[in-house]
Structure 1
Amino acid sequence: MPHESNVYPSTNDLLRIVQHNMNLMFVIRKQKEQFYFSFLSGKLKEKLELPDAVTASDRDIKNIDSTFILLHRTKLKQAFTGKEITFRHHFHSHYLFTMLSPVIKDDEVIEVVGTTMDITSFEKSEQQIEFMVTHDILTKLPNRQKLLDDLDEIIHNNRQDKPKAIMICDLDRLKNVNDTLGQFAGDQVITLIADRLKKATLEACQVYRLGGDEFVIVIGQQVSDLKVYAEQILQIVRQPIIISNHDFYMTATIGISYMSEKACKTEDYINRASVAVHYGKVQGGNRISEYTNKMSEQYNELILLESDIRKAFKFNEFTLSYQPKVDVYTNDIVGVEALIRWEHGKKGKIPPSIFIPIAEEIGMIDQIGKWVLREACKQFVRWRNSGANPVMVAVNISAFELQQPDFLPRVKQIIKETGMDPYYLEIEITENSVMQNTEECIEMMNELRAMGVSLSIDDFGTGYSSMGYLQKFPINYLKIDQSFIKELFEESGSAEIIKAMIQLAHTFGLKVVAEGVEGERILSFIRNEKCDYYQGYFYSKPLEADVMEEKLLAFS
């Protein structure tokens, strides 16, 4: 039979094993409600810089009570009642897991044996996983799930610091950037806008990325005028963006949902802001919309229109009317602008201001744009074949179409198919659309000019193009937006703005078209200021193709 010492390790062996253990092993005793280590060992002891074990007889026991013990007096008290305790805690820069096991003798806890493990690496991994679950990887902003969790915690726990409102900031036409410059450039834009929003956000507010091109700002403090603050956000988004030597601009639409109106679910607040955003989008985007109950009703109507637009295109319900462009001095028709019209089977005439933004939202604008261009070119050929003197035919091109890689080949193909004379084709581009991707737009415009196509900037004065870029654009015409014309004698400063626009255009060698002229007084003013052409109800409303043909034949 082997000797006992050969079966069981000696005390020295046990101490050596404990000392080389990766964990912290200790025994804690209590004297007069004070805790102290009676045994303390393991490699983690040195790592945590804990003091050596002491005995109850030490005079300085009060001073030797370590932070490690003081932080967890409640846990130790529980263990000294006879309970086994496990808990996670943080000590200095370490995350720890401690197990406390009471030693009972004669129904009394005489000491507590403890083991502590360093779980810092595991804790950091968990934190990283938690961050990945609750944050957007691209922007590092909290994500939709985090937004819902935060709002649930704040709203339904009757916290005093309830947010005042939710703002959704949805970038306009980010798809154009992705299609033109690639997904990587689109991601760069999102990251840049996220950084701008973080810097612009008020102290008690939080920015989230809802997904795609949508950001949410939870307004956590009282703001005197939230629309003013929202406008500041839009201005920040509109600042120039330079990526891979490409200089362009972005716009956004903001929807606001106020928390003063109670909702059944947390998501209802977000959905209200989403409705406001969508409502703003179909109004043309680049604006602020505040949610109202009436807006929900209108929103539902707009949703129904989406399927109707698809049917209208499929069953050829769209038609074109033509707005004459008239010489200010001779009153002769020098051109026409093709305008799309839709006669809905049940709802009657639906204005383009309603269905065009919806078509953009649902991805139908490209198909509609092709149809308008082809139909307008066909109509020019019909008028010419009827004996009418040829006039310029202007077609509006959306920002989406302009950004498509196949736009130029499409224009060339339609000109070839229809027999259109390119020197009588005018393409109208809105001021904001050319500012979204200026260098590429300028290059495309130069190619169109080389084909013989004329170009005009539509709605001038409503966007944010710089004089420098206006000088670079290879355009023929500048169209002053009708909002300035109609306010000519009503708003102070409108007359001076119009004068400046005409002078600026003539300085750059451009012809000027005034839109929305509805009276002799306005016509006299623009004539005195040497405006070249005008459009508006004073001369004629938009006419159907056959009526327009009669007018053109009368001038032949």
Structure 2
Amino acid sequence: MLRNLRDLMSQKINKKAALLFVMAFIVVNYSFGLLVEGTEIYLISRISFQIIASAVSIWWIFLTFKKTKKAERQFWLFLCLGSLSYLTALCLWSYDEFTAKTHQTIYNLSGTFWICQNIFYLLGLLLLVYQLKSRLRTMRLILDILIIMSVAAAMSWRFILTPLLSQSASKLYVIKIIYPILDLGVLFGVLSLLTASHAIFNRKTKVLLIFGLLLLITADTIASYLTVLKVEIVGSNIDILWGSTLLLIGLSGLYHEEQPLPQHGEVYKHKKNHFLKIILPYSAVVAFFIVAGVDFYKSDTVFLSFFMVILLIIIRQIFTLFENEALFNKLSNINEHLEQTVKKRTEQLEETLHEVEHIAYQDMLTGLPNRRLFEKEFSDLLINKENQFAVMMIDIDRFKNINDNLGHSFGDLLLQEVGERLRDNRGSHCRAFRIGGDEFSVLIKYLSIEEAEKAAMNILAKLRKPYTLKDKDIHITPSIGIALYPSDGTDFDTLLTRADLAMYEVKKKGKNDFLFYDFSMKNLSGFELENSLHKAIEREEFVLYYQPQVSINTNEMVGAEALIRWNKAGEGLILPDRFIPLAEESGFIKWMGEWVLRAVCRQIVDWQKKGISPVKVAINISPMQFQQTDFVETVESILIETGADPKYLELEITESVAMENIEYVLCKLSSLKKIGFSISIDDFGTGYSSLKYLSQLQIDKLKIDRSFVASMEQNEKNAAIVRLTTLMAKELGMKVIAEGVENNTQAAYLKKVGCEEFQGYLFSPPLPKEQFEQLLVRVPVASYKGNRKMIETHGKVTLVSEE
């Protein structure tokens, strides 16, 4: 035990060893007392054990004081002074007892130091109460403390103070009277520490400290009560309690760790252990009534009954508190679960937002930044007007051949490798982006033209090197166009377009090279138009016009044809005959067709939401779009996406498409009919038709080409074609519509031969969606009668008479 004592006095103390020492000390102290009881060394052993306990406690508390940095440092200092006062008093008393033999001055002085112990403890606890005052702000906690203190004060007055005051008023008895009063103060501090919602000590420190101080109050109270009974307490087992008190207080210091401030939500965790805090004031009152009842038992039965009723009410209230505490804990658990759920969902949302932002700015195939991030970084560079930089457009020559011959998966691998080489080409002034398809762009900050030229040559050399993909050696060449800021343009679109023009000039001259843009390249309007075409959807430059379709027999507007227009920035409205051939040649027609279908579906749904009854809208389907293997799935997914009803949609296919690979076409048309679309053949009579196959197709309507309608009056053969086409369609169960009707004579002839519908300038030109919507609202049944036509005046659609 002495070896353990040396270890426990060192700077670095094992907490578990200290706890074992305290337990062993108490057992040995008690056991040794039993062995030597009645002998001369009994009292000496009791005092010796107390001195050892005091010294160990002082050292432990001092170590805690040294390592503590926060405000509670002063608390540990007062505890250390209190334990030191106890040791001083013990030494003085021992000197008087064993040497001076009842020297009254020394005896009184030791009593004063014992009182100082409680005074220092009280000061430390008052300091602690001051620090905890924000956590004792609720009136309920204050009332709980006052109830317990009142009961304790009453008990102390009844059983200790009153009997002591009745005894001799010597200085010794004055000291003994002060003990219970100071103990009440210590009790107040302990209750404040116990009821605080978030203590400044960890759980182990708090338990040891509270238990040690309560043991001190208990020992003092027993000692005072034995004094009242005039029982000798020197050398009694109370000495073991006092020694244990000192060790527990010292041990609490060893377990002390500076606590962080309470976090949001932490309060719920602590409120789960409120049972003791709630039961304490009621327990004190119950004890008080029991004692009072015993006093009144012999004097008055009525008073005893009154006390019993109050006692039962308190017990009932305690059970009610149990129920409330259970409900409160359940609510706390729910709140804690909700907080954890919200925290988790918030973290998931933040993670998702990071992923979305990452996806929004990164090309998923190559991992390079995409066009959106390119525009953002370009804008950042424009903040400093003194910056000089070049925009490179890079296109892989004959990439389509690689895709067609080796497959798209192979082409994707090649694009990934190209992206990796461009990424490796990073310098402090170089940044690569993927624009789309096989087009890449590089943004270069430069100090001279030579520097930009050197960068282009490095990129050419890197991309020309052979690629080994799936055990195949692939050789490719790039074409690079370069535009400079600010000499070639001062905005993103202009620079990108001009770099694109320079790149197309490289391709025109044989590919596998680079060129800087110069203003003579403006003549390449076709290339510029094709390049802009790819960006038109992103810039929302495409718009739809609607040309009404009218029933000749009922004069009702029965439908409309959706016609695409290109409202190109800086040029105005571009008609389809300029950009449709480019779109077909480049393959962009597929995406353009999907855009038209999606836009029409959304428009139909929008009309329905506005309470406008829509008409059936015809949409042109290009041969390339129709021949896509996933065409049916694509249109079906657009319907699901937009929520449009297919009964309001009519798909127009060309005559040549309908007669090519008839089995494939029949299967596709059957699927489209099952979905709910109407099918018509556009420009009928201008291509090659087989009447045998025409009868097999699930066609709802034939559209007579405008070239036949325009020349009916001058060309009898064309008039005969219109008449025979109408007759044949009727026999096959199809409707007939004529397009390009511009005068009453044409309309009259069409009505005569049995054509049911027409569209053309006689009724209305193609209208923007806003004006067509006005037409739907104002003229739900078209007023076409004889010599009437639709004209447009100051942006308003009006029916007027030609007469």
| Greater strand share, structure number | 1
Q: Which has the higher contact order (CA 8 A, sep 6+)?
A: 1
**For the superposition of Structure 1 and Structure 2, which TM-score range results when normalised by the shorter chain?**
0.3 to 0.5
TM-score of the superposed pair, with normalisation by structure 1: 0.46
Question: Bigger radius of gyration, 1 or 2?
Answer: 2
